[in-house]
Amino acid sequence: MTVVPAQQSGGGGGSSGLYDVLELVLDRGLVIDAFVRVSLVGIEILKIDVRVVVASVDTYLRFAEACNRLDLEAGPRKSPGLPEIVGEVTESGARGKSKGALSGAAETISDAFKQARDDGSEEETRSRPRARKSTASRRKEEQE
Amino acid sequence: MSTYVYGITAVTHPSLPEGMGGVGDPSRPVRILRQGELAAVVSDAPDGLRPKRRELLAHQNVLSEIGAAGCVLPMRFGSVAPDDDSVTGVLAERADHYLERLRALDGRVEYNIKANHVEDAVLHHVMAGNPEIRALAEANRQSGGGSYEDKIRLGEMVAAAVKDKESEDGPALERALEGVADAVSVGPESTGWLANVSYLVKRESAEDFLAAVERVRADMPHLEVRLNGPLPPYSFVEPGPAGPAEPAGTAAAGADTEAG
């Protein structure tokens, strides 16, 4: 899984732009009741909540560590033990960092499309994608 | 053979993509079904059509092509009619409705905005604005990172503060852009972004809209703002349901009344 720095910002375009558009293709647009819609099994994963704020112990720990790291970098109260602490925080925080809001979303969605493209092993999920929390935690577990 | 429907447009549309590759592997060629003043852009529906990336892209590409040259009512991905006749049947039966929507959306395109917090930036913000969090973080640091419980407590407070910031920034972003748009449609929440909003913008106002987006990016540097468009008006095809709070049709319908 590619790690995208959370700081990356700026314009649309790129692959995340593509996924953003495909969300519209799947979720909006005209629906005519006289027509049937093809099954969207395998694509529900698009709807998953991958925001930063997921109420979980994992998130809390990550935030706590991120806060330490931030202040250390800002450096108003550097202490002699700094390098060790930085090393430790960076190591344990790295994974969490890579799952920050932006990259987390893009990765999850790109996984979804990869999965949908590769087909084959799509598992049945709920047919309407509105309930997200539970799916989110399940997906999260899978990622751990 | 069932019929895959991409969108509905006016029969007067200047450049319909007849023969273009549509969904399926191999791509089924796009055909045009005409009925009165309306035209449906369709192709044969491949058996076992699935929401794969290439199919979604094919759908989007056909619609972009139509949308680039004129107004189209885009279908949601995966709409399949039993046959061509049932498509033209629907066009005939609901002609007034579709013609009204085409008039209302004529000369307008959709821009979709999605935004996230830049994590480090929002954490800085939260720390700066919250003495309690700062104090706790400092205490933790002095005790070598803090106990597990201390970390959880700090993390919980930060998470709540970030969430508050999200619910503040989402609407702020939305408001900053709504002035330059004809209509606004707020997309589903909590799906990997703090804001997911579509704007209906007149083609001639597109530059103003893009300039407003740039201003937002400058004013809210802690947000990653992703812009997509111009797109066919996916979020504005129906007067009401597409935008729960902000009836998407209102502004457009108003413009229509002016014109008529």
- DSSP assignment of B6-57: EEEEETT-S---TT-B-STTTTPBPEEEEETTEEEEEEEPPTT----HHHHH
Instruction: For chain A, give every domain's residue range.
Output: 14-128
Query: pLDDT (tens digit, 9 = 90+) per residue, A103-141?
Result: 333 333 444 444 444 443 333 333 333 333 343 444 444
Is B18 a residue whose pLDDT tops 70? yes
Residue B215 CA to residue B206 CA, distance in Å, equals 14
Query: pLDDT (tens digit, 9 = 90+) per residue, B88-113?
Result: 999 999 999 999 999 999 999 999 99
Closest residue in chain A to residue B127, using alpha carbons only: A67
- Chain B residues with CB under 8 Å of A65 CB are 145, 151
pLDDT at A102: 35
Best of A24, A37, A119 to substitute, by most chain B Cβ atoms within 10 angstroms, is A24
- Alpha-carbon distance A144 to nearest alpha carbon in chain B (angstroms): 18
B51: nearest CB among A26, A67, A132? A26
Task: Read off the pLDDT of each residue in A16-33 and give the average, rounded to a whole number.
Answer: 82
Best of B50, B94, B134, B164 to substitute, by most chain A Cβ atoms within 10 angstroms, is B50
- Chain B residues with CB under 8 Å of A8 CB are 224
Look up residue A2 and give its DSSP letter.
P
Query: Are B177 and A34 spatial neighbours (Cβ–Cβ below 8 Å)?
Result: no
A113 touches chain B (CB under 8 A): yes
Q: Do B156 and A60 touch (CB under 8 A)?
A: yes
Query: pLDDT (tens digit, 9 = 90+) per residue, B108-154?
Result: 999 999 998 988 888 988 998 899 999 998 898 888 878 899 999 99
DSSP letter string, B180-244: T-SEEEE--SSSS-SEEEEEEEEGGGHHHHHHHHHHHHHH-TTEEEEEEEEE--GGGSSSSTTSS
The pTM (predicted TM-score) of the whole model is 0.71
Q: Do A26 and B76 touch (CB under 8 A)?
A: yes
Is A22 a residue whose pLDDT tops 70? yes
Is B51 a residue whose pLDDT tops 70? yes
